């Protein structure tokens, strides 16, 4: 009969830890090899997939020699930039060091050089490549639309599209510069989420006029009606994207319904959409056909 699995001490049970920490608490090597512990890189164990990205990053950092910074996708997660996939402890860690130093070589780590040419910030005490440099470093890892999503997120944080274009003008030979310039040209101020950006790009590629983003709508008397996700003011057309919060929050759903009813009573036409229209070809074309008929 197999021996029961020894529980981890409370100090290690809910966070990443190093093998050295565990051994110092008397945890056996056999216990540290058990498959209930993830092994993202040499000398590190993670007891649960619910661990936060910052908590695991701290343990990874404790195993590294400075100077270094988290970069690429790892930096994007630490900076809370919108990505198409949720973070998981099994993902590799991207670490960057100066070109004059050897890159990190260990299981679970993707090493990069070039830290001397990147801005660095601290996130919860962790060294991280800055947001704009991280966006540029992702050119080889993400498609154009996802680069635009991050560009819009940077715009929400105060980095304007003109700032992005100026950054690129100073780096004409950077890898992925063509994709970055295309993404920068599509970046706008006003998008509130990843899905709003993808929806806007769907409108643009469908040949529609660009809408105002998160714009206030008033009735003829000047009373505020709602803030439209997408607004074609000239045509008195409103586009409203419904994400998960509209399914999970009764208050949000009811308030939105009432606001849309007021807008329609004031002569606005309202079209509602979900992720289905963004990702399903037939639903997308049906929506675009409707809007083409309205925006004339």
Instruction: Say which range, 50-54, 100-104, 205-209, has the weakest mean pLDDT.
Output: 50-54
Average pLDDT over residues 262-284: 94
Please count the other Cβ atoms lying within 10 Å of the Cβ belonging to residue 149. Answer: 26
Higher pLDDT, 15 or 279: 279
Q: Rounded to 5 degrees, what are φ and ψ at 181?
A: -65, -40
Q: How confident is the model at residue 232 (pLDDT cuts 50, 70, 90)?
A: very high
- Angle (nearest 5°) at CA 61 between 57 and 64: 145
Residue 150 CA to residue 119 CA, distance in Å, equals 17
pLDDT, mean of residues 219-238: 94
Answer whether residue 1 shows pLDDT above 70: no
Question: What pLDDT does residue 4 have?
Answer: 62
User: Cα 18–19–22 angle (5° rounding)?
Assistant: 95
How is the chain split into domains, by residue range?
Answer: 55-186, 194-294
Distance CA 72, CA 81 (A): 11
Identify the sign of the CA torsion 52, 141, 204, 281.
negative
pLDDT category of residue 275 using cuts at 50, 70 and 90:
very high
Mean of pLDDT values over 133-161? 95
- Mean pLDDT, to the nearest integer, of 261-282? 93
CATH of 194-294, one of 3.40.960, 3.30.1560, 3.30.1370, 3.30.700: 3.40.960
Tell me the mean pLDDT in the region 188-217: 96
pLDDT of residue 16: 79
**pLDDT tops 70 at residue 244:** no
CA atoms of 221 and 251, how far apart (whole Å) = 27
Q: What is the pLDDT averaged over residues 217-240?
A: 94
């Amino acid at each position: 009969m197999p021996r029961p699995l020894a529980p981890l001490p409370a100090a290690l049970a809910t966070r990443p830890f190093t093998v050295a920490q565990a051994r110092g608490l008397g945890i056996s090597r056999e216990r540290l090899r058990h498959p209930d512990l993830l092994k993202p890189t040499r000398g590190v164990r993670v007891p649960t997939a619910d661990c936060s990205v910052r908590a695991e990053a701290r343990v990874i950092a404790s195993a590294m020699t400075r100077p270094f910074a988290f970069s690429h996708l790892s930096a994007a997660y630490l900076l809370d930039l919108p990505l198409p996939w949720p973070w998981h402890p099994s993902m590799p860690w991207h670490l960057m060091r100066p070109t004059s130093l050897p890159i990190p070589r260990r299981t679970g780590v993707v090493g990069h050089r070039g830290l001397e040419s990147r801005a660095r910030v601290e996130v919860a005490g962790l060294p991280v490549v800055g947001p704009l440099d991280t966006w540029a470093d992702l050119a080889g890892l993400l498609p154009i639309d996802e680069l635009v999503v991050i560009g819009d997120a940077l715009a929400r944080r105060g980095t304007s599209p003109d700032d992005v274009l100026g950054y690129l003008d100073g780096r004409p030979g950077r890898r992925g510069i063509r994709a970055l310039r295309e993404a920068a040209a599509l970046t706008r101020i006003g998008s509130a989420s990843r899905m709003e950006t993808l929806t806007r790009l769907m409108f643009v590629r469908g040949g529609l006029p660009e809408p105002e983003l998160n714009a206030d709508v008033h009735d003829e008397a000047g009373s505020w009606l709602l803030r439209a996700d997408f607004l074609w003011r000239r045509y008195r057309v409103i586009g409203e994207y419904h994400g998960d919060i509209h399914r999970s929050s009764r208050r949000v759903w009811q308030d939105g319904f009432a606001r849309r009813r007021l807008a329609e009573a004031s002569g606005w036409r309202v079209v509602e959409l979900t992720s289905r229209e963004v990702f399903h070809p037939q639903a997308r074309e049906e929506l675009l056909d409707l809007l083409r008929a309205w925006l004339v």
